[in-house]
Every structure is written in structure tokens, then in C-alpha cells.
Amino acid sequence: MAQLLRGSLWIGRFLGVRVGIHPSWLPIFALVVWAIAGSFSDLDAANALLLATVTALAFFASVVIHEFAHALVARRYGVGTLAIRLFLFGGVATIASEPPTPGAEAAIAVAGPLCSLVLAALCGAGVEALRAFGGEPHAALVLISLAAANAFLALFNLLPAFPMDGGRLLRALLWHLGGDRRAATRLASVVGLSLAAVLGLAGVGLAWRTHQWESLWYVALAGFVSVAAMHSYQEARRGGVVAECPPAGGSEGAR
């Protein structure tokens, strides 16, 4: 996975973790801005674009926060995080080693989705506060968008498709039950490949029925998950380290 993300632009270091942007993130950022701008049709083009840009930046900041939730919990269990990157499918955290126990694996994996759900709840509370006090309607629309995006980010990442967060929870369970991390990784990777195939077929089916090209995004995401799952399977067979946690989001967040 690290090989696929070479060429990232490092923008800084926070809490001892390098944060970077891969060039593949730029087109998806532009696409998200374009999609959000359509929600502000009552504004002139310049103001709609400005507000959409702010909203998109806030969402991708949420993706980074999601990844830092993983990193901080991993640090508690003695697992260092080498880097966090934004890329085409959202965010990815590169960890230095595998979690030492199934419990640590589960805690690290669930930290990101829980953080995203908290962010969604905070945005939702902000919307209610604006409504109660007669706040600016466009600010409420921004918060509604962020609440929905973070909720989707959390729920999507909980799909049991290794090495996504839900897949890592599945591996933690299999590891706990069988006592063999490598065997658990192989089985979780196979489940991830199967779910990626279902996701890809669903994307093709939606595109065929609705004639909307946006549905093909799920095909691309399925391809990425397939590559990541196959890499994890091969590393497990070789006894290597599966040291990536993708994705945090997608058009949303993957994870």
C-alpha cells in the first residue's frame, strides 16, 4: 500500500505523526466541491463555490481526525503510526507494527468509526442549535452535510471488508477465537475480497439501472479494497505485517 501512495506531499507533523496529501486526492476534492456547490443553488456562483470549498475542507479534516483517533488509540497499545495521508478514497493511516492482542486490534479499529459518529452527533447538535436560535440557514446546511458525511464514513468503514475498520474487527474476533493472527488475517482478507466483489457488482447494477455514472464510484472503491485485501492475504501467508488501515471514506470516507 505504501508503494501505491508514493509521491505524497507532506504538509506537516501533528502529535508526532506525519500528515500528507497524495496527488490522487486533488481530483476527488474538486469533485466533492463541485457536488456540494449544487446544494447552494440560491447563492451566486462565487459564494456557492466558496461555501462548498469550506464544507469539503471541513469534511476532509474530519477524515484526518478519524485517522488520528486510530493513531492515538494505537499509541496506547504501543503501536506507532508512521503517517496519515489523504488520497483518492479518503484517508489511510500507516502503522509501524501489528497490534499485540485481539483486544488491542479491536480497540484501534473501532476508534475511527466512533470518532466519526461523535463528529456527526456534534454537527447534528449544531444544526438543532441554529434552528432554535434562528441561525443562518446556509450554516445549517453545511452542518447537515457534515453530519451525514461523518455518519456515512463511520457506517461504511464498519463493513467487514479487511483491511477496513470493520474487517479489522472481524480479524480481531477470529484471532480471539482461533488464537492465530495469520490464519485470522487470511480468512478476514477472503471475506474482504468477497464483499469487494459484491460492492463492485452492486455499483455496476446501479449504474445500469439508473444511468448515473456516480454509481461506478463503488466499482473503483471495490477495486481498491480488493487490492488491499489481496495484499493483506499475501503478507499473512509470508508472515509479514499488515500495516495499513484503509480507507477512511470515499466519495464520502472511507476509512
Report whether pLDDT(67) > 90.
yes
For the chain, domain boundaries: 9-238
152: number of CA atoms within 13 Å, CB side?
A: 14
Higher pLDDT, 87 or 59: 59
State the pLDDT at residue 3.
52
Write out pLDDT tens, residues 242-254: 445 555 533 223 3
Calculate the average pLDDT of the chain.
84
CB 36 within 8 A of CB 145: yes
Structure pTM? Answer: 0.84
pLDDT per residue as tens digits for the range 151-203: 999 998 898 888 889 999 999 999 999 999 888 988 888 888 888 888 888 88
Q: Would you say the C-alpha torsion 80, 172, 198, 66 has a positive or negative sign?
A: negative
Which among 67, 105, 235, 252 is annotated as catalytic?
67
3-class SS letters over the chain: CCCCCCCCEEEEEECCEEEEECCCHHHHHHHHHHHHHHHHCCCCHHHHHHHHHHHHHHHHHHHHHHHHHHHHHHHHCCCCEEEEEEECCEEEEEECCCCCCHHHHHHHHHHHHHHHHHHHHHHHHHHHHHHHCCCCHHHHHHHHHHHHHHHHHHHHHCCCCCCCHHHHHHHHHHHHHHCCHHHHHHHHHHHHHHHHHHHHHHHHHHHHHHCCHHHHHHHHHHHHHHHHHHHHHHHHHHCCCCCECCCCCCCCCCC
Q: Which residues have CB under 8 Å from 28's CB, separation 6+? A: 88, 89, 251
Q: Which pLDDT score is estimated for 233?
A: 63
**Comparison of pLDDT for 162 and 6, the residue scoring more:** 162
214 annotated active-site: no
